[in-house]
Chain A
Amino acid sequence: MAGKFEVIKAGLETSVQDFPGRYGFWEQGFPPSGPFDMWSFRLANILVGNWPEMAGLECQFMGPTLRFSDDCVIALTGAEMNATLDGEALPLWESVAVAAGQTLACGFASVGARAYLAVSGGIDVPTVLGARATFHMAGVGGVEGHALKDGQSLTVGGGEGVHGRQVKADCRPPIGGGKEWQIEVVQGPNDDWIAEEGIERFLEAEWKLQARSNRTGYRLEGPEWIFADKASAKGPEHGEHPSNILDHGYPVGSINLCGQTPIILVNDAPSAGGFINPFTVASAAFWKLAQSKPNDIYRFHRVSVEEAQDMRRAIDRLCAEESIR
């Protein structure tokens, strides 16, 4: 039986997302959207007995306060937001039975940046272009195309749900309190626009995450880039700056060099544009991007295409019933 919950306080930017997001419309200008930390998101769903794909909430930096109108089972994963259920501390990585009338209150993220809330039966919003994921820049998907607002009422799919389950400690993403992260990258596609010493500098440097970062792009601060001769000895159609290139498609995760500022293009990024992408972040490292905060430090570690694929498979294997006890 379907149920409902009411949004008392929406939080900083809380959106409905599903896994893996919106596919098949990239060539019409739609990014995939979907949960930024897909590892935590899927485990939340599995905990409550949902399919890993079902729609849940992504809570960024400061989570929402929600009142449940019906009995259900919920699970919170990802960032520590010091959540309470009717004032009692709510454990992370555990499925919990909620009785009609109870209130879930989340605070600021103290460890990590994004928490994920799964509700038994999933959140029932209309499917737009094959997905429930919110792409708020264009007002597509989720609740009327945007992040949650105070006073809204959302419908959940209902169903029994299973409470009292936990994710085994070694199956969770290791979200710690540290400010330094190693981010795996694959070299390319436009690495030949950067000089050899520029490639080395990128891999050796510390990169600071700027505050102006969101689900579209992560801006980084670090040393100057050193371009290859190709970047200046090019046809005028490519544009004036060494980082300009004739418009081309942007892989999700690409490190897009806009002048001297690298921007990691993430879930809601534009599908194309006129800047080079010398490296691309491995999809298995996205959870680290999702859980880091402004002023955190990234160091990039180069891996091969096959190594990056193996890392993604290893996470996929953990997003399964076997990770639950």
Chain B
Amino acid sequence: MKFEPAKFLPGGDHFMLVQFGDDASIDLNFMALGLTAALKAAALPGVVDTNPSYNSLVVEYESDDISYADLQTQLERLIGGLGSVEELELDSRLAYLPVMYLDPWTRECVADYSEKITRRGDDPDFVARENGLEDAKQLARVHSGTEHWVVAVCSTPGLPLMRALDPRCALTSPKYNPPRTWTTLGAIGVGGLSTSIYTTPGPGGYNLIGRTPVPLWDPRQRHPIFKHRVVLLDAADRVKFVPIGEEEFGYIEARVADGSYEFNITAYQRFSVGAYKKWVASLNADGRF
């Protein structure tokens, strides 16, 4: 697939926004993540930090080491080297995350909002209706029926912005307006095209459909998995939600608390965009689980 050439836009004196396109085509995110990987491999002097998202990448640079014009030239060269999106292969781990759908804690969050800010019904029912699903139970079946692609880790530490890789499981829903003032830790939210997991108990705008007992980051780095990295997920990882009940939730929560929880992440696969697109083309797009 061919794209318009990327646009390069300044963000003040030490940031550059590389815009691959204007829409939410997942190919644009593959390109942004492909460029992020290429930029790291190239280890260009003066490149300080990267921040990819849906269809763009923000690069922070040190202008004493590389000028705006030279950075753009280097990025154009690296984008040229990526080839077509189908040729991209990205390192991609698969994380299994237990989730209790339709849990009591996020319901409490929604009830609190309903009481204090503006009346609203049950979030899972709302999302099910918006997407033409029978009920909240089917919503859980659909949401857990796909691998979710980590588009970016952003906003707050460790927060994954994800979208369904299986088009039969794609969900869209409007976000809260006005937003919630608090959200329970580990809440699974859906809004726009995205699924996210709340990693800080702050405000939020996504519809809440479940909760995971597994921490996605730990600033104190207590558990061995956080020894060499503070957050669990990276962009280009995949997440598979594993439905659990309340009893299992309590069991995992206790194991997380005493440090004996065994995280389930595989790291032996690479994600081939070409193979993925071939698979998507073979599907019955109207199918639902």
Contacts and interface: CB of A to CB of B under 8 A. Distances in A.
Q: Sort chain B's interface into a size bin.
A: 35 or more
A309 B63 contact: yes
Interface in A186-206: 186-190
A248 B17 contact: yes
Contact of B193 (A139, A188, A237, A306): A237
Interface string A215-242: 0000000000000000000110101100
A169 interface: no
B54 A246 contact: yes
B157 A248 contact: no
Interface residues of A, number: 53
Contacts of B68: 305-306, 309
B252 interface: no
Contact of A24 (B49, B52, B64, B219): B49
A73 B101 CA distance: 58
Q: Which 9 A-B pairs have the closest CB atoms?
A: A251-B11, A249-B58, A280-B12, A272-B154, A308-B13, A249-B51, A251-B15, A189-B9, A237-B24
Contact of A270 (B13, B54, B155, B193): B155
Nearest to A185: B12
A9 B72 CA distance: 50
Given A26-B51, A271-B154, A283-B13, A246 B24 contact: yes
A309 B158 contact: no
Contact of B219 (A145, A249, A251): A145
Given A237-B192, A249-B154, A27 B12 contact: no
B203 to A, nearest CB: 11
Contacts of A188: 9-11, 17
B161 interface: yes
A99 interface: no
A99 B208 CA distance: 57
B289 to A, nearest CB: 23
B10 A189 contact: yes
A284 interface: yes
Interface of B: 9-15, 17, 19, 22-24, 36, 48-58, 60, 63-64, 68, 151-159, 161, 174-175, 177, 192-194, 199-200, 202, 217, 219, 230-231, 234-235
Given A23-B49, A272-B152, A186 B10 contact: yes
Contacts of A240: 174, 177
B161 A249 contact: no
A138 interface: yes
Contact of A251 (B19, B58, B177): B58
A187 B9 CA distance: 9
A294 to B, nearest CB: 22
A186 B155 CA distance: 23
Interface string A87-114: 0000000000000000000000000000
Nearest to A192: B9
Contacts of B60: 26, 251
B274 to A, nearest CB: 24
Contacts of A30: 157
A272 B230 contact: no
Contacts of A306: 68
B153 to A, nearest CB: 5
A25 B49 CA distance: 8
A270 B202 CA distance: 12
A138 B219 CA distance: 8
Contact of A272 (B155, B175, B193): B155
Interface in A2-36: 23-30
A129 interface: yes
B54 A282 contact: no
Given A187-B10, A272-B155, 15 more contacts: A23-B49, A24-B48, A27-B50, A28-B157, A28-B234, A29-B153, A29-B155, A29-B157, A29-B199, A138-B200, A140-B157, A237-B192, A246-B54, A249-B152, A282-B13
The residue in B17, B36, B161 that gathers the most chain A C-beta atoms within 10 A of its C-beta is: B17
A251 B12 contact: yes
Nearest to B8: A189
A121 to B, nearest CB: 26
B153 A249 contact: no
A151 interface: no
B13 A129 contact: no
B155 A305 contact: no
19 contacts: A26-B49, A26-B51, A27-B234, A27-B235, A28-B157, A28-B158, A28-B231, A137-B156, A145-B219, A189-B9, A235-B22, A249-B154, A251-B11, A251-B15, A254-B11, A273-B155, A281-B12, A283-B14, A309-B13
